[in-house]
Amino acid sequence: MIKKKLISLITLLFLFHLTSNLISNDIEKIQIIKEPYYINNLELMNYKENYTLLDDKPASYFIINFWASWCAPCIKEMKSLNSLQKKMPSIRVITISQDKSLDLAKNFFKKNKHKALEKYFDKDKKILSKFSLRGLPTTFIVNKDYKVFAKVEGIIEWDSKSFMSWLNEN
């Protein structure tokens, strides 16, 4: 009996340790950009092939996520990006597909119904040229003045308490 309780306690401690490391690692993945830069006047093409400027709809923060339908980590983080947008309506979560065709991106969202996200397509890779990416997913954090000040390469739990606290502090 004591052995079972001890094993249960050790298991719980291990799970707590693992969970706390996952949360702290999310924040550690955020890279502060040494030389922040502005991206106002950024032209975005939506899935109806209409163009809009980023500045047309102000926000307290912009979370700009570069992704593709063939990228497994990109797909994995969409749920938490969608949840973040629902939890923090004062920000804008913007997804920019790097797929070869608009139809691939549209089909992904038809199947997965992440309705809270803003969806755009980088048809001529003009948007990509304004950012420094080494792979997908890569997400940039932009303040209300359109200054890119941080980025995340890879995935994190965007809707975690630790990220939302970090965002509110910056």
User: Residue 40 — pLDDT band, cuts 50, 70, 90?
Assistant: confident
| Full set of structural domains in the chain with CATH | 31-169 (3.40.30.10)
pLDDT confidence of residue 14? 44
C-alpha–C-alpha distance, residues 47 and 31, integer Å:
30
pTM over cut 0.75: yes
Beta bridge partners of 30: 152
* 129 close to 99: Cβ distance less than 8 angstroms: no
For residue 49, give both structure tokens. Answer: 């092939």
pLDDT confidence of residue 132? 86
pLDDT confidence of residue 25? 67
Q: pLDDT tens, 128-170? A: 999 989 999 999 999 999 999 999 999 999 999 999 999 999 9
pLDDT confidence of residue 21? 39
Angle formed at CA 16 by CA 79 and CA 11, multiple of 5 degrees: 115
